[in-house]
Amino acid sequence: MARPPPRVFLIRHGETEWSLNGRHTGRSDIPLTARGEQQIKEKALLLVGEGRALDPKNLGVVFISPRIRAHKTFHLLFEHLPKFPDHIITEEAREWDYGNYEGLFKEEILAKQPGWDIWRDGCPGGESVDNMRSRVDGMIAKVKQPCRPALVSD
């Protein structure tokens, strides 16, 4: 029997102070708000578990950004299960690096660079569109691997 194609679920972290007020957040390590934690706990019971969209027996590996907001989201999603799924914390799964635009509001960025579009222009001092595309392509290649990679630690 042929192995079914892998499915990918992209899960954004819960609310942070910066996502709440509209600041661009990439490499800054901003924690979830109490409301953000509650959002994830509520979604976990709907999404994660036997027979649900995120059924642990069907998960190969979970890639997680090392930012505390992403790591906390992962733990909150799966904390009601007997064990956490296999996971890898990697910079490859992080958000866009906004560089000089980190922490700014869109209006502030547009004042510096009128007409700015992240998908066309990238971020000075951060990731270009090509950098982001390459990083995402690398993650897609990992997901498409027919077997889960062996993890080796020294």
Residues known to be catalytic: 13, 95
Residues 6+ apart with CB under 8 A from 64: 70, 71, 74, 87, 88, 89, 90, 93
Residues in the chain: 154
Q: Write out the two tokens for 15.
A: 């609310």
Closest CA to 24 of 119, 99, 116: 99
CA distances from 57 to 60, 64, 131 (A): 8, 18, 34
Q: Which residues pair with 8 in a beta bridge?
A: none
Contact 10, 16 (CB under 8 A): no
